[in-house]
Structure 1
Amino acid sequence: MVSALQFTLVIPLLPEFPQLLDISASDSSWLVTATLLTAAVGTPIIARMADMYGKRRMLLVSLGAMILGSVICALEVSFVTMIVGRALQGFGAALIAVGISILRDKLPPERIGTAVALMSATMGIGSALGLPLAGVLSNWLGWHSIFWFGAVAGAVLVVALLVVVEESPVRTPGRFDVTGALVLSAALICLLLPISKGSAWGWGEPVVVGLLVSSLLLLVIWVPLELRVNQPMVDLRTSAQRPVLMTNLASIFAGMAMFVNMLVTVQVLQQPAATGAGFGLGVTAAGLAMVPSGLAMVAMSPVSGWSLARWGGRAVLLVGAGLMSLTYVGRVFWADSVAAIVVGSTLVGIGTALAFAAMPTLIMSSVPITETASANGLNSLVRSIGTSLASTLVAAIMATYTIEVGGVLFATEEAFRIVLVLGAVAAAVCVALAALIPRDRRTHHERELARAQGGEKQEAVVRGQIRLARADDSARGTILVSVLDVHGEQLDWSRADNAGRYSVVLPGPGTYVVIANAIGWAPEATVFDFAGGEVEQDLTLARELTVSGVVTRDGAPAAGALVALSEALGTQVGSTHCDDAGRYAFQLPPTGRYVFTAYDPHTGSAHARKVTLTIESEVVDIDIPVGATLQPH
């Protein structure tokens, strides 16, 4: 709730800030933009650091930054310091991603779904309360009080965290990827700044185009950097897997659909009735009209948790996004009263509660347990991109379809209809993407384990190193470690770093099977009797997968013969020479069709074979018939 309030408390005061701070109207918008930018940039960074250095520790860092920013704004030294303060307040957005990962570490599996749903719902409550609360505080205690409120609330939370929340033992060892964080931050600023300011600056202006191009170039640099670095800021290989990729893509459109609801509802309630498309409510009354939506989200928390346990995150996301889409369609035709607006907003809120509870659950069931905070941080980032896109598109639509009343331009009824259609389309795209998400993993088995342990978690992190019998740079980033119980259920998995180091989470003392696998190497498995405590478990991949054979010349070994390997479509893979016994070997390439060509320089003869290779080692013998030479014309 406190995190959400950082964004909404200042909105009612935006029209007044030009007079209060002696600035222009365009300058006052930076008080919102600064917070949005630091929220988007800071969340994935703080979430990654939470996985590495401790989740409670980074919650305290986020709250500390938010408190400092609130105090700076409350003191109002200058407009520049206000911008700095609002930027620091944006770090409070990381509380959500890191907090959800703490819920996963601390709570029994059957309670995680409800807890995540409740946290998502409190975001809705915070957003809804921001508008009326800002009006009450500024009227009673002056506008500085909204920032003192944030500082006091943050200080209370710091004390509560220190007293109530223990540090999670689930961590990822290693060194933080500073370069990756800096490049990603620059790319996000170059992307989100023109999205936020494009309408005001002009989409064709050189600064907007330049920022967008710079964002693209920085991302082109960042992606290969993250694939090469030992412990990346964002594990792109994991993020590219279908469950995570589809969930993140769906989150963009879910964020759009959620934000459209707040933007269109508040504006249509506040717009003068003389425009034919408004109800003339004040800021406080319009804000209170959003409260039923937030309360409905809280009331849905137990239902969301039960649904997640019963049907899984994919089904809940489908239902939530589907409800949002259908409600938006209904609001296009039924929006002739305040009651209709409130009912429509509340139904969208219920759909949002379901969707936003499902997305972190889907993410956490698909990534290594030691990376849940950073994975949720990335998911929060893509959702914020969705909300930024929604804000930009809604602003463009409202500015295109206008009507003048009393010398002031307002949005027309057609503009509101188009925005509602935008919300319906965004939610429908979310449904389509959610349909591509595979079923949840781990969730059912984690609940069964918790019951066997009396509902209390006894998780421990086990670390180790995977060694290769031969130094092989091509295996970097491809070594996977998986942990099974003796019944064959997967408990956790990890991608080893470039040095082969890995970490996995075990549910408690017991017997487990640890499997290591890498492209080009035969997998190895070992039985691990875990008694608890800090333990290292190393494995060695000893058998390299190869394609090998013997080249003969009319049945005799063709010593020194050249063997060339190429794909069936002609791309060269490599070449080698046979030893004295005619033997050759290549590291096993990816599955597919290949051509093996042998050339004997002693006789000038050659021969080729077409072979389909699988994931197992293969023997391909080649016999070169004497006289198989290219005849000159």
Structure 2
Amino acid sequence: MAILLAAVAASSGITVIYTVLVTLYKAFPASDSVSWTVTAYWLGSAVFAAVSGRLGDLLGYRRILLLVMMIASVGAVVAACATDVAMLIAGCAMQSVAAGITPLSIGLVRENLPPGRVPAAVGVISAAGMVSAGLIYICAGVVVDRYSWQGGFWFKVALCLVAVGAVRLWTPPSPKRPSARIDYLRGLAFAPALCAILFAVQQSRVWGLGDARLWGLIGVGIVVLVMWARHQHEAAHPLINVRLLKARQIVLANACMAFVAAGGMQLGQVFSLLAQQPAGTHAGFGLSATAAGLLMFSVNIVALVASPWSGRVAARYKARSAALIGMAILVVAWASLIVLHRSLPLFVPGAALCSFGLAFANTALYNQIVEAAPAHQTGEATGMLYVFFSCFFAVGAQAVFSLLRSASAKYDGGWFAADSGYVSVFAYIACSSIAGLLIAYTLPKRRAQ
């Protein structure tokens, strides 16, 4: 129960920010920096996921999990009390530490459960995250509508504090680990490098692909990352053990996650836009924000079946089989939406199948990492997987935006994506899923139990 509540707190991270975003634009009309609340969160999450997971390996998963959730709650308080956009962005950046909750939770599960029960437990954690995200979207929306945008952040504070109490009461302390001298300063050099690359990707639609600043930031970031990786590879006690990437299974799982993040993970953005786009554009369903939230919840709830089922398949036949099933479902589901998206009754089951495949594949990839990584490096390895997710999610979001913008039409004074734009997006995500399926097929086979 404690780990499930922690998963709910984790899913509230970006969900609440997305929920209050429209209201924030109205609350700070003179500022053009409100969108940085989302950017700051994703930049921070790419860093904190890896660092938190590694600190959990070194200092104990329970201790770092409690610390992470307390920092996230403080960040929500800062955002709720913000009097200007700069303070609001700082609060959202602090909340991004919640990205470490998932790898820490998986580390706790592996630490306290028999090996045969770990894959199913990972599936339950994944399901809790996806389903609670839909519930939080609705609940936070009600809080914001009834009170104010600050209420959304206070709602997040309550979720984090409840999870902290549950972990303290019901989770046994992690065993003591031998101390190691780590060069934290050089070990954290990947953070500014990664942020530079992600910032450049986020700004690509503003600057344009021909801007020297874009490629300059990406180039500097890559150079620093290469230097950092060399140092961490040679260090006796690295902060981030890049030697893990020598394992074929871990490398391929991260590569597969990259295509899932750039493709199927864009589900929320794409479906929300399609649901709320005016029906008069002939490319949307014209649903209200509340109706769109209920639609997203009904789509996400299939994770209650998909994620645990994926865990059971991984426990019996190994995670490779579950990954192949999940990726195959994603290919079929997104390809079907090329035709089904024009009718709401046909779109809903197609969207649910996309969510089912995503939950199945996502759970399988985390279990793939758990199978390959040593037990004492679970947090670090799963945190690294989240880094790949964050980086390529940003890349995929820009790709989706570009495809929708390339085919747009004017309606009622505004510009909206044309039907051909959505067709291009569905085809792009289907192709990304095919690439992920091919990578999953190359994963090494392991003997089934």
Counterpart in the other structure of 2:195: 189
The reply to whether residue 19 of structure 1 matches residue 9 of structure 2 is no
**What is the CA-CA distance between 1:134 and the residue it aligns to?**
3.0
Q: Percent identity?
A: 27
In 2 relative to 1, CA 167–181 (structure 1 residues): closer, same or farther, beyond 3 Å?
same
Note the C-alpha offset of 1:191: 1.0
Task: In structure 1, give the amino acid aligned to 2:194.
Answer: L
Q: Is structure 2 residue 17 aligned with structure 1 residue 10?
A: yes
Q: Partner residue of 2:440?
A: 434
Secondary structure, aligned partner of 1:404: strand
Q: Secondary structure at 2:341's aligned position in 1? A: coil
CA shift, 1:339, in A, is 2.5
Partner of residue 314 from structure 1, selected from 320, 327, 332 = 320
Structure 1 residue 172 displacement after superposition: 6.1
What residue number does 1:469 align with?
Answer: none
User: 1:255 is matched with which residue?
Assistant: 261
Tell me the SS of whatever aligns to 1:300. Answer: helix
Residue 345 of structure 1 pairs with residue 351 of structure 2: yes
Offset at residue 298 of structure 1 (A) = 1.2
Q: Quick check: 1:239 aligned with 2:245?
A: yes
Aligned residue pairs, count: 442
What residue is the counterpart of 1:414 in the other structure? 420
- In 1, the alpha carbon distance for the partners of 2:107 and 2:153 equals 28
Shift of the alpha carbon at 1:13? 3.1
Map of 1:623 onto structure 2:
none
- The alpha-carbon deviation at position 169 of structure 1 amounts to 2.0
- Gapped runs of 5+ residues in structure 1? 445-633
CA distance in 2, matches of 1:71, 1:96: 22
How many Å apart are 1:152 and its aligned residue? 1.0
Contact 1:172 1:370 survives alignment (8 Å): no
Which one of the candidate residues 421, 425, 431 is aligned to 1:425?
A: 431
The worse-fitting range, judged by mean Cα deviation, of 28-37 and 335-344 is: 335-344
Matches within 5 A, 1:504-515: none
Q: Is the 8 A contact 2:276 2:284 kept in 1?
A: yes
Does structure 1 residue 361 correspond to structure 2 residue 371? Answer: no
Structure 1 residue 170: Cα displacement: 7.1
Contact 1:65/1:91 (CA < 8 Å) preserved in 2?
yes
Q: TM-score, normalised by structure 2?
A: 0.95
Match of 2:389 in 1: 383
2:53 paired with 1:47: yes
Distance across 1 between alignment mates of 2:391 and 2:320: 22
Distance 2:404 2:16 in 1: 23
Of 191-200 and 151-160, more deviation after overlay is shown by 191-200
What is the DSSP-based 3-state SS (H/G/I as helix, E as strand, rest coil) of the residue aligned with 2:416? strand
Q: 1: distance between equivalents of 2:22 and 2:307?
A: 35
Q: State the AA in 2 paired with 1:206.
A: A
Shift of 1:125: 1.6
1:37 offset after TM fit, Å? 0.8
The corresponding residue for 1:150 is: 156
RMSD: 1.7
TM-score normalised per structure 1 = 0.68
SS of the equivalent of 1:409 reads: strand
Whichever of the two has the greater Rg, that structure is 1
Considering Cα pairs closer than 8 Å and 6+ residues apart, tell me whether 1 or 2 has the greater RCO: 2
Measured after TM superposition, the shift of residue 171 of structure 1 is 4.0
More strand by share: 1
1:32 and 2:60 aligned: no
* Partner residue of 1:81 out of 76, 87, 111: 87
Letter in 2 for 1:149: F
Q: Which of these residues, 285, 290, 294, is aligned with residue 279 of structure 1?
A: 285
Distance 1:245 1:97, change over 3 A: same
Give the drift of 1:272: 0.3
2:113 is equivalent to residue 107 of structure 1: yes
CA distance in 1, matches of 2:393, 2:117: 29
1:162 aligns with 2:175: no
Output the CA distance in 1 between the equivalents of 2:335 and 2:233.
43
What is the deviation of 1:364?
1.6
Secondary structure, counterpart of 1:16 in structure 2: helix
The structure with the largest helix share of the pair is: 2
Q: Residue in 2 aligned with 1:606?
A: none
Asked if 2 retains the 8 angstrom alpha-carbon contact of 1:254 and 1:426, the reply is yes
Query: Residues of 1 paired with 2:243 and 2:35: CA distance?
Result: 38
245, 270, 273: which one aligns with 2:276: 270
